[in-house]
Structure 1
Amino acid sequence: MSKIAPDLLALQRLYHWEKTAPTRVALTQPMGSGAVQDFTWAQVADQVRRMAAHLQSHGWEPGSKVAILSKNCAWWMMSDLAIWMAGYVSVPLYPTLAPETIRQILSHSESKALFVGKLDGWEGMKPGVPGDLPCISYPLSPADAIKSYEGWDAICKRTQPLKGEPVRDGDELATLIYTSGTTGMPKGVMHTFANFAWALDAGLKRIPMNGEDRMLSYLPLAHVVERMLVEHGWLRTGMHVFFAESLDTFAADLQRARPTIFFSVPRLWVKFQQGIHHKMPPAKLNRLLGIPLIGGIVRKKVMKALGLDQCKFAAGGAAPMPLALLEWYSKLGLHINEGYGMTENLALSHITEPGKNQQGTVGPVYEGVQHRIDPETGEVQMKNSAMMLGYYKEPEKSQESFTADGWLRTGDKGTIDKQGLLRITGRVKDLFKTGKGKYVAPAPIEDKLVMHEAVEACVVTGANLGQPLGIVMLNADAVAQVAEPSARAELENSLTAHLKSINATLDPHEQLQCIVVVTTAWTVDNDVITPTFKVKRNRIEDLYARHYESWEASGKKVVWQSS
């Protein structure tokens, strides 16, 4: 049995709230047209018990895999719990995957069944689901899935709840988390119930979370941070979790939840900033913030407009947070704590400490975590008690991910200062060498490049070229504006000035030859970004590498690329 106290494991937490807070609202689910459905802890437990009994009725071997393909919703979390209560292992899939990837994961994991939930692109995904795989739909599933598969509510209505308090040992496998990955096919990261419990223990010593808190769940629950912070944070503390309905209703969803704890990825923090600037130009906002009394009123109004006026703890992660972005939010009174971690260590590695000026780093390690820098490669390596068992059915890749003395290889380059603060400087494999024989680390340059108000995402590339190139994707507002020749010329002048200011901060071999502007969106659907908005560098190479030399030879500071 694991050293973790049994009452801290996931199922035991459900039984705790079922007994001690049965009438407390646990989950709030938007149902469309402004309507919501609340679930109390008693209702959650009852539905989980009924679904667990249904899953057990199939007679699968203990430890069998059951998959979940859905956007975040109340039934996603209840499905996870039902799978565990039935004695099985959950396999969450990102709700934006291509059919080939869906089929590969379902086959590789040997999943016995699939929950087909709330999805935007089900018609495109459906070919990836084997025709003989038992499937269950949710009340918010696409119409075709509701028609094709037996529904959650019907199953719960006809099935008696599982009795007693079935438990799982801490050392048992809880889930396979297939990494989204920026290259190659995803790998199934194996984590135990004890891993989650230990990570929550360590996390709560740095993140102030309790039963009075509210969170909005909108980043994919298939991602390790959302799974840890929202699902397992909810089970540990008994807090109230709200779900987002859609991108179109996101502002209203935030206003409904008024989250006290809020996590977002850098790309969305940038979009929030751009939304504010769209309503109030940066120069005017800065001027007002500098005026006593008025500045305080403006800060409150901006935070209320974002739905973050009651946020006591804000965090960013999954990709580097530009320093200028962190400073901008600090001026508004919202201090974003930057976290760092991986699926392989349950995202429990580093986070900046509230109230301390640690911007530009990802802070010190959590309690119980060790870190070091490989002297030869500069790679960040770490240890904690929530490290993966390995990759499912991939013993060689599992072995490669650890050093001979048992430290996890992160693949990230970094430095550790005298205060023990870690600074991420790039990926070990992202470094590229220019034609002049000099190495370039793209991440720090990208942090500067993305801060232009018209830029939504960017990549710095250029292996074997004389100088690196910056490729930027415009946001939707900028794309709409550049249809006008005068607006396009104005943006080109602005980007030229932006390039000049960036290059002034870089060493000669790092300075960008030009900025290449693309107006075609980089999306999950066209496979340029991962579900957590990381740009896939290999896809950028596939799409644009044939143009690099002509862009360099053009002599232009801003190059427009139509596709």
Structure 2
Amino acid sequence: MSDQPLLPLQAFAQRLAEMPEQVYLTQPHPGGRLETLTWRQVDDQVRRAAAWLNSLALPQGSRIAIISKNCAHWLIADLAIWMAGHVSVPLYPNLTADSVRQVLEHAEVQLAFVGKLDAWPSMAPGVPEGVTTVALPLCPEGAFDRTWQDLQSTPPFTGVAPCQAEHLATLIYTSGTTGTPKGVMHNFANFAFTGTHAVALFDVNPADRVLSYLPLSHVAERVFVELASLYSGQQVFFAESLETFLSDLQRARPTVFFGVPRIWTKFQMGVFDKLPARKLNVLLSVPLLGGVLKRKILAGLGLDSVRYAVSGAAPLPEPLQQWYAKLGLNVIEAYGMTENCGYSHIGRPESLQQGWIGPANPGVTVRISELGEVQVHSGATMLGYYKDPERTAETLTEDGYLRTGDKGEQNAQGWLRLTGRIKDIFKTSKGKYVAPAPIENRLAAHERLEQVCVAGDNLPSALGLCVLSDSGREQARSEEGRKSLAQSLEQLLHATNAQLDKHEQLHALVVVGDAWAVENGFLTPTLKIKRNVVEEAYRKHFEHWMAQPHKVQWHMP
């Protein structure tokens, strides 16, 4: 591999030269209309938008925001920002007005592209005065300074983009499970390293298809969809909405698919709603019938063409991985952070090792510190946090390694396993330390549990807080169903505690009636549980729950 891989816009130019009339982006519109854009059409729109940006005579490297859910023009706007020599600042599409203002002011954003959004009226007050707003084609109702049509009436840019490898490409503000967002700085060299290596690792090519549905403002989707498409030529399909997600997935029939553990759990729960787990297991064990059923289930999910299925952003419970393997789909785990473009470790479908993520990716070196922290180094490592040298120094070692904050270990083959978060580890009132993540993974194997959070800071022993799946809630509505569910959960607790040291064992499982969602602040935009929010929401009940002898308790209507 060349020491100097193509920069993203150079890779885009190469795709354009090789396949100008091949469809690149497929965008669904309300009412069922499908818009397809070839590489040539995308290039024309990018160049017109870049020319318009150039007409503003902004200083090179100005920060320009993209506030939108995933859509074709998210990618087009990003490419135009780069072609004009500026820095893109993506925002999550469900932020509060205060969070919008915090990011835009911190990044000193000059202009914002506003696209597909559900809650723009509540977000708009966060846009500071003086920030020009440009409405993308799928924009919400509202007043904007310019429209995409205005930009497209500009003659296309015909020069060479001024961006260089060392130039800042983007500021990615981490969603964060605690604290205020940090602006992670990545230059074009970081993106070139990541895109080139990631595509080569699994031979992603122009015949591949991907569905874009997780936030493009998050590094995982940015790499898996945007960079991978630029460096491989894969076709990108977009999801229209949550309601149409399954039909969007069936339309795309992706060959590569990335999901967070909650998505993989949701798929499984959907199958169980139609065919209970025990019955499914029996049917899958029947020769011939089992094979037909596997194919039917995967086709129903739109996953029958997937050759690489990837899970990331949080640990994937082993039983869930094993369940998909029974269907003939090897879901591999990827490990990475915003701070290293999500490029660190990934499993290999042909040699899965249960409980282990995988080896370090090509070009990545890894070490385990004396405290057990995983530290990594590669060409994907960030430059630092924008305007925050203190936190940069806390996160990057003097010799350039990224402190991940994750505890982990490596086996003889160099495969990595995470054993918890250094900061998530809490101390019980007995002075013993507990790592919640491995316990949560064991509990999450239950088919009626959708989310689990182990809490126990300053308690005599830990509690497992649980949110039921839709089918679990349905079962809990009747007295008989709740009793059966309680027995099942008590067996789960007993089996889990039997595998734990005494100081790690849970006092009880508490089933809570609240939904933990992005909208109510319990989850990050990438569906990770905000542990501090969960603990704060239920802390006033901890003492009462600890005083009860019941091993399964209910905190729901």
Give 1:153's match in structure 2, choosing from 145, 149, 152.
149
1:262 aligns with 2:257: yes
Question: What CA deviation, in whole Å up to 9, does each residue of 1:248-290 have, x standing for no partner?
Answer: 0000000000000000000110110111111111111111111
Q: 1:459 deviation in Å?
A: 0.5
Task: Report the alpha carbon displacement of residue 545 of structure 1 after superposing the two structures with TM.
Answer: 1.4
**Which residue in 2 is equivalent to 1:77?**
75
Hey, what does 1:142 align to over in structure 2? Answer: 140
Deviation at 1:372, TM superposition (A): 0.8
SS in 2 for 1:175: strand
8 A contact 1:4–1:170 mirrored in 2: no
Distance (whole Å) between structure 2 residues aligned to residue 261 and residue 250 of structure 1 = 16
Identity of aligned residues (%): 51
Q: In the alignment, which residue of structure 2 is the partner of 1:293?
A: 288
Write the mapping of 1:225-236 to structure 2, written as runs, cut at 5 A: 225-236=220-231
Distance 1:167 1:256 in 2: 38
- Kept in 1: contact 2:513–2:555 (CA 8 A): yes
Farther-moved stretch of structure 1 (76-85 vs 479-488): 479-488
Q: 2:187 aligns with which of 183, 189, 192?
A: 192
- TM superposition shift of 1:480: 4.5
CA contact (8 A) 2:82 2:161 kept: no
Q: CA separation in 2, counterparts of 1:3 and 1:525?
A: 44
**Structure 2 spans left out of the alignment, 5+ residues:** none
State how far apart, in whole Å, the 2-side matches of 1:293 and 1:484 are.
38
Structure 1 residue 240: Cα displacement: 0.6
**Aligned: 1:280 with 2:278:** no
Q: How far does residue 139 in structure 1 lie from its aligned partner after superposition?
A: 2.0
SS of residue matched to 1:112? strand
**SS, match of residue 263 in structure 1:** strand
Q: Measured at CA, do residues 367 and 464 of structure 1 come closer, stay the same or move farther in structure 2, by a change above 3 Å?
A: same
The letter of the residue matching 1:227 is: R
In the alignment, the residues of structure 2 paired with residue 476 and residue 287 of structure 1 have an alpha-carbon distance, to the nearest angstrom, of 23
Amino acid aligned to 1:44: V
CA distance in 2, matches of 1:416, 1:353: 16
Output aligned runs, 1:38-437, within 5 Å.
Answer: 38-144=36-142, 147-156=143-152, 158-375=153-370, 377-437=371-431
Matches of 2:47 and 2:168, distance apart in 1: 20
Distance 1:17 1:414 in 2: 39
| Alpha-carbon distance, 1:357 to partner | 2.4
1:126-148 deviation line (CA, Å, top 9, x unaligned): 2211243210112212122xx44
SS at match of 2:322: helix
Aligned 8 A contact 2:64 2:86 in 1: yes
Aligned to 1:537: 531
| Aligned match of 1:546 | 540
CA distance in 2, matches of 1:553, 1:286: 39
**Equivalent AA in structure 1 for residue 527 of structure 2:** F
For 1:485 and 1:51, the matched residues in 2 are separated by: 61
Give CA deviations for 1:374-410 in whole Å, capped at 9, x if unaligned. 12x1110111111100000001111111223321100
Q: Deviations over 1:498-533 (max 9, x none)?
A: 222222222222111111111211111211110111
Taking the aligned partners of 2:274 and 2:473, their CA distance within structure 1 comes to 18
Q: Which secondary structure does the structure 2 equivalent of 1:457 belong to?
A: strand
Bigger mean CA deviation after superposition, 501-510 or 331-340: 501-510
CA displacement 1:393-451 (0-9 Å, x = unmatched) = 00111111122332110000001111101100010011112222221110011001122
Aligned-partner SS, 1:419: coil
When the two structures are superposed, what TM-score results if normalisation uses the length of structure 2?
A: 0.97
Counterpart for residue 498 of structure 2? 504
With 267-276 and 490-499 compared, the bigger mean Cα shift is at 490-499
The structure-2 alpha-carbon separation of the partners of 1:477 and 1:148, relative to structure 1 and needing over 3 Å to count, comes to: farther
Q: Distance in 1 between matches of 2:270 and 2:40?
A: 40
Amino acid paired to 1:528: F
Q: 1:304: how far off?
A: 0.4
SS in 2 for 1:320: coil
Give the SS at the match of 1:248: coil
> Of 451, 459, 465, which residue of structure 2 is paired with 1:465?
459
SS of the residue 1:113 aligns to: strand
State the one-letter code of the partner of 2:449: V
TM-score normalized with structure 1 length? 0.96
**Which residue identity does 1:560 align to in structure 2?**
W
> 8 Å contact 1:15–1:165 — kept in the other structure?
no
- The counterpart of 1:449, out of the listed 440, 443, 449, is 443
Q: Which moved more, 1:129-138 or 1:323-332?
A: 129-138
Alignment-derived partner of residue 4 in structure 2: 4
Aligned to 1:76, the other structure's residue is in SS state: helix
Contact 2:82 2:169 (C-alpha < 8 Å) held by counterparts: yes
Deviations, residues 48-91 of structure 1 (Å, cap 9, x unaligned): 11111111111110000000011000000000000001110000
- State the alpha-carbon separation in 2 of the partners of residues 172 and 131 from structure 1: 28
Aligned amino acid, residue 203 of structure 2? P
Match of residue 525 from structure 1: 519
Retained in 2: the 8 A contact 1:11–1:167?
no
CA distance in 2, matches of 1:217, 1:444: 30
Query: Do 1:196 and 1:386's aligned partners in 2 also have CA atoms closer than 8 Å?
Result: yes
> What is the rounded CA distance, in whole Å, between the counterparts of 2:353 and 2:475 in structure 1?
38
For 1:488 and 1:141, how far apart are their aligned partners in 2? Answer: 45
Let me know the Cα RMSD of the aligned residues: 1.5
Other structure's SS at 1:286 match: helix
Matched residues in 2 for 1:58 and 1:485: separation? 67
SS in 2 for 1:514: strand
1:19 is aligned, of 1, 17, 22, to 17
- Over 3 Å counting, the alpha-carbon distance change for 1:179 and 1:492 in structure 2 is same
SS of the residue corresponding to residue 393 of structure 1 reads coil
> What's the CA shift for 1:102?
0.9
Structure 2 CA distance for aligned equivalents of residues 225 and 385 of structure 1:
16
CA distance in 1: counterparts of 2:395 and 2:442, whole angstroms: 31
The letter of the residue matching 1:152 is W
Paired with 1:167 and 1:39, the residues of 2 have a C-alpha distance of 25
Q: How far is the alpha carbon of 1:167 from its aligned partner?
A: 4.2
Report the alpha carbon displacement of residue 549 of structure 1 after superposing the two structures with TM. Answer: 1.2
Return 31-40 or 470-479, whichever deviates more.
Answer: 470-479
Give the letter aligned to residue 261 of structure 1. V
Q: Whole-Å Cα distance in 2 between the matches of residues 315 and 483 of structure 1?
A: 35
Whether the aligned pair in 1 keeps the contact of 2:409 and 2:418 (CA below 8 Å) is yes
Query: Equivalents in 2 of 1:518, 1:120: separation in Å?
Result: 28
Please give the per-residue CA displacement for 1:294-341, whole angstroms capped at 9, x wherever unaligned.
111111111101101000011001000001111110011000110100
Cα distance in 2 for residues equivalent to 1:10 and 1:114: 22
The residue matched to 2:361 in structure 1 has which SS?
A: coil
